[in-house]
């Protein structure tokens, strides 16, 4: 049996300014507390099948330490559960761009963030 590698490579991060602008202008959104999720199909790229962006507003968490902690928790939850989304997206001809905007007022625990992120990934399938 092949061991699943839970990695989060640089190519999986959404960092193109043009794509980010398009995502927030033309993308669809859904809300699963504490996330506002913006997503869009990108017909130009195929690999990786999903690229993500994690946003924690400065308005909610003034301290950079807190913002970075929340982003780290979200990325870790995504890294360990992305296979749920990648199984379906692997056969797709288009790439999926996803933006996770954290709108909660408090820092949730890793278990709570992971539970909510799994709900989001199941809806994105």
Average pLDDT over the chain, rounded to an integer: 89
3-state SS of the chain: helix, strand, coil percent to 5?
40, 20, 35
- What is residue 45's predicted lDDT score, i.e. its pLDDT? 73
CATH number at residue 119: 3.30.230.10
Structural domain boundaries, residue 28: 11-124
CB 27 within 8 A of CB 74: no
Q: 16: exposed, middle or buried (C-beta count within 10 Å: 0-12, 13-18, 19+)? A: middle
E strand or H helix that includes residue 65: helix 64-81
Residue 25 lies in a domain: yes
Residue given tokens 């807190």 in the structure block:
66
Tens digit of each residue's pLDDT (9 = 90 or more) over 15-41: 999 999 999 999 999 999 999 999 998
Residue 15 lies in a domain: yes
- What is residue 80's predicted lDDT score, i.e. its pLDDT? 93
Q: What percent of the chain has pLDDT above 90?
A: 67
CB 37 within 8 A of CB 98: yes
User: Would the pLDDT of 54 be above 50?
Assistant: yes
Residue 2 lies in a domain: no
Number of domain units in the chain = 1
């Amino acid at each position: 049996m092949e061991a699943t590698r839970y990695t989060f490579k640089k190519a999986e991060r959404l960092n193109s300014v043009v794509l980010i602008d398009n995502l927030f202008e033309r993308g669809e959104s859904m809300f699963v507390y504490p996330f506002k999720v913006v997503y869009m199909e990108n017909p130009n790229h195929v690999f990786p099948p999903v690229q993500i962006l994690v946003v924690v507003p400065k308005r909610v968490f003034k301290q950079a330490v807190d913002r970075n902690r929340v982003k780290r928790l979200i990325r870790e939850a995504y890294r360990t559960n992305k296979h749920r989304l990648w199984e379906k997206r692997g056969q797709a001809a288009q790439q999926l761009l996803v933006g996770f905007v954290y709108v909660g007022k408090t820092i949730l625990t890793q278990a709570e963030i992971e539970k909510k992120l799994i709900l989001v990934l199941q809806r994105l399938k």
